[in-house]
Structures are given as structure tokens and as C-alpha cells.
Structure 1
């Protein structure tokens, strides 16, 4: 009988958090004096408390011509291995630009190493005040903090234990469809024909279930015509229904996927009530928001009941008056006025509440 051998593993776990510190009325804070600062609210990453310090007139006499920004470890009597990335947000595009990165090091609450970066010369004040980082007396600081936790040691396990691979049912289903085995319904979409399995479609979509197993005409037909949809969109819909994932499209769903294609996929997901597919599309559109595209994304959100995407678009547009002015100047906003006037009502109301605050 073989002697049983056990094995344990050690990995380095990390936790990352992002904090955004918005500062209004910058000109009223300037003149506080060197060494005077504004501190953000306390936020937690990796089980430790942190804050951002902003010095409008510099940290000390050596940095009086600069603005100074620091990440500060607030937790007492502790040492933390961490890194940080401090950025300023462009008030026109809403995109952050990294100004300082601190590599992984020890933050000690008992000395000056609790601060990062080590210098107060974050950005020259003249450069900062002439940049798009300051608009309407408003600036935004973003800090991504990464905490390296202690070693994570696993429980002992048998060395020769049989490893179970991840589920590949989606791959098998797609290969089954690709081979044309057992198909019992066909769809005509934009001049192309697609074969499928009624049972799979019905399991994944209540709309397909009603059409293929209900009393509707489609239930008796072997060839179903799909109107107002592009063939490549229907192909991607089928791929998601069978595999629960998007097909590779110009770099994959998180890469440089064509934005217009994702918009069509969201419409298809809503049409056939494939809710997870709809959320995937919304997530991708959220990551691609900018001044030029936010109006189109908001119109889609209103037309297809995407409440979270709608709120994100409203927040993006109203984050500052300069961003709102840039959005209003786009063709997408002009289209929004025609296609989705209710969105403008909500946008006006949100903007009015923010200005009152």
C-alpha cells in the first residue's frame, strides 16, 4: 500500500479598493496656507482605514508652488504592506490620469511612512489650474489602494488527489449545435439560416419558450423568421444561450468590442428576456462611457429598462457642469432629445438637485 502524502500551499492574497475624493470651491480653499490640508472621508481597504489628504498650498515651504496629495494610513499601531495609485480626473472626459504610483512597501502608522508619496510636489499649481483637472472650481482625486495580506496557507490535501476540471457544459452544448446534431428548429435572419434546439432555447428564454412551446404559430413551424435583427447579432445571442458567454469579437467581451455591436446585443437580450446577457452588455457599455457615447447609452437604458445603466449615465453627465456642457454639444445628445425626451427630464432634475446641494 502506498504511503499517503499530503500537501499544503501558500499564496499571497491582495485586496484592492478605489476611493474618489471630490473637492468643490477650490478657490475658497486656496490660501489656507502651507501645511494646511483637507482630509477625505475614511475608507477601508484590506481591513485597514485610509484617507486622502489634499494641501491646496503645498505640504511645506519646499512645495508652496505645488498642490500636495497624499494617501494616509489611519489605523493605529499597525504596519501594512500596500501600494497606491493617485490620479486626477479630467473634468471634461471623466477619465483619471495617474500622477503618482507607490510600489508595494510597508506603511507604518508610527512614522512618516504612513504617507505616500514621499514628496509634496504632486503637481505644479500653475499647471494644475490651467488643466482640465480643474473646472468650475471642482477637482476630483482618485486613489486605488492595494493591500498585500498575510500568507494564505491551505489546509493539507492528498498529494495524489484527482483534480476536477472546471465545467465545460457550455463548450459541449455549442459543439453539439455546431455539428447540427438533434436540431429541431431553424431561424431565418437577414437571409441567413440558423439551426437550434427548441428545448435549449426554451430553457434559457421565456420568449422562446412561449413561441416554441406555446399556442403561437411559431410552435408549429420548423422555419421561424426573425425580423429586424442582423445575422451576426442572432449568432451571438445563440452563442450566449448555449455557452453563457459572448463569442470572441475583436478581442473578447472585455476588450475592444465594437460598441455598436454591444448595443445591438443588448436590444436582442431584452427582446428575448435573456437577463444575464442583458447585464453583461450593460457592464461592457458602462466601461466604454465617454462624452461622445454616454447619450446613446442613456437612450438605450431608458428604452430597454436598464435602471442601473441609466443611473450611471446620469451620474456621469452631471459630475460637473463642464462635462455636461461637453455632452450637450455632441450629436448623441441631439439624438437623445428626439428619441428619449424623458431622459432629459430626469437629467434636468438631477442637475437641479446637485446645484442646490
Structure 2
């Protein structure tokens, strides 16, 4: 800010001194120019997804239950540690460019490959448990956690005991904690389900964990369900 005395500046009769001010605002023409450029969104995920959807230039195949899916070794290796080991070590899959997959349904493999190519799993909610098993098998940690989150949202009285067993088996701590909390909250209803009988017969340590969680939460003895 620059103060310039007015040519007629003077003390007036009311003892005030008046001046005139000039303001100079500086701006960068370069910054203005940049704000006018709209950079397109990155389409890499969509472009890679097209490779998978349209089977463009495949160089390997994955076979499950008699169905064959065309794919690309470089993308599979870049996105999945298990496929990377197959195609970079002296294994049969590297020589034949063919991967035989067992104990998985074709629709689950298709969803797994969709995630590998695009980072998305549009049908995850319909097959969260099966897809989590596949993600665990192929060391896809992000997909596994996505499935875990979906299963947390799907807890009901009917499936809570079975999901607890599943969470313990596949080392999903958030899902296990959520299942334990849910069962303790609705224990009287859950204890009438077939899944609860499975816990009683084959997983007594889970019952001990359920009881321990109630004690840790401060539930009074009179309000603790009789698990044993």
C-alpha cells in the first residue's frame, strides 16, 4: 500500500489530516493461464478393464471348472504376488501359459480378475465370503479387507455364529470382533441357530472368547448369557 499526499492535503478546522491512497494489486498471468486448463481424469483403470472385458491381446489363460478366461501375464504378475511367482519362476504355468485353478467357482474367479484389472469388485456383496477365500489364497489384501467390510455389514442373527467361525479361520480381526460384539448383543436369539451348535461342538475356544469379551465389557453376572 502506498500513501501519496493529496496536493491539497492540510489540517482542516476539525483537526483531521486527509490523504489520498493508491492500491496496486499484483497477479501472475501464468497462474491465470493454468486455471483455464482442464486436465482429464486418469482412465488407467478403465483402460486396463477394457483389456480384460474385451480379451484384447491375451497371452495366457486361466481355467476353472471347465471354463477358460483369457488374461495377460504382465498384469496378473504386477497385481498379484501368487501370479507373479508363477510367471517369473521356473514353474509349469510359465511354460504353458495356462493356469489350472481348483476349489473355486467360475463367477468368483471372474470377480477376482475384475478386481485385478480394475481395482473394483461390482458383485462383491453377493459373494463376499467366497471372494474373501479367493483373495486370501492369492494374497490380495485390499480385496480381502473389502470382503471383510461387506461381511461386517451383513451380520444377522441367523449367520452371526457361522461368520464368527469363518472370521477366525481366515484371520479377519475386524470381522471377528464385530461378530463377537453382535453375538453378545443378541445372544439369546443366536443360541437358537444351527451355527451356534457348530460353535458348541467344534469351537469351544470361541465360546471362551465370547464369555471373556462379556467380562471385559463389564456385563454383570446376572446379564451374562449361559454359553456353557
Distance 2:95 2:199 in 1: 41
Aligned with 2:191 (options 310, 314, 328): 328
Residues 193 and 352 (structure 1 numbering): CA distance in 2 closer, same or farther, change over 3 Å?
same
Between 1:269-278 and 1:208-217, the stretch displaced more is 208-217
Relative to its length, the structure with more helix (as a share) is: 2
Aligned with 1:343 (options 199, 203, 206): 206
Q: CA deviation at 1:335?
A: 3.1
Contact 1:302 1:340 in 2 (8 A): no
Deviations 1:295-344 (A, max 9, x none): 2221221111111111111122223xxx1121111122223445644423
Give aligned pairs, total: 190
Distance 1:231 1:293 in 2: 25
Q: CA deviation at 1:263?
A: 0.7
- Partner of residue 290, structure 1: 156
Gaps of 5+ in 1: 1-155
Aligned with 2:103 (options 228, 233, 243): 228
Deviations 1:92-116 (A, max 9, x none): xxxxxxxxxxxxxxxxxxxxxxxxx
> What SS does the aligned partner of 1:195 have?
strand
Aligned with 2:74 (options 199, 219, 229): 199
Larger Rg: 2
Contact 1:301 1:310 in 2 (8 A): yes
Distance 1:181 1:205 in 2: 20
Relative to its length, the structure with more strand (as a share) is: 1
Distance 2:129 2:136 in 1: 11
TM norm structure 2:
0.75
- Partner of residue 161, structure 1: 36
Task: Tell me, yes or no, if structure 1 residue 171 matches structure 2 residue 37.
Answer: no
Gaps of 5+ in 2: 1-30, 222-228
RMSD after superposition: 2.3
